[in-house]
Structure 1
Amino acid sequence: MEYRFQVASDVIRDGLGVELTDSNGDVLAEVFRCDADNSLKISMFAENLPFAMVEKLVLIARDELVAFEDGTPLPMPAQLNCSA
């Protein structure tokens, strides 16, 4: 399957998103920057997406979305504290 990434503005939801799409243009996942409440969320609209594509979506979103409309920077990545 061929995947693509696109940046999309959403006036109704007051924000900007980076979308992962398939070759038909169907949106499979999205990272959305909501400027109304300065939140950043990921939504998955398809099952069994390759991890590498989801990871790339998040990395592209970090580069493309930069900061909220009011200039507030995006939240920093969380530090993982995993114990086995």
Structure 2
Amino acid sequence: AFVFGAQQHNITLAFDTAAAGPNSLQMWFDGDLVLDKSGLRLWTGETYPKFGLYRGELDAGDNAQEAAHVFDSWVYHVSVVQC
């Protein structure tokens, strides 16, 4: 929840950064879906989002199976808090 003046609001974001296909982004404002985009490329080039999911290492070496280092990830219920 965040406060704007005397009002308090809730924002929920859902990022789909699946490596195997197009990405999507959804946003809810006070429980109402206000943005629903799919077919996006959210992380282009050599950009690596870091929000708690990191690649794993293999016993046979770091580059033994590149596909084994690909993880799909989702972020839900991001809160913006006024401090």
| TM-score (norm: length of structure 2) | 0.26
The structure with more helix, counted as a fraction of residues:
1
Higher relative contact order (CA 8 A, sep 6+): 2
Larger Rg, first or second structure (1 or 2):
2
| TM-score (norm: length of structure 1) | 0.25
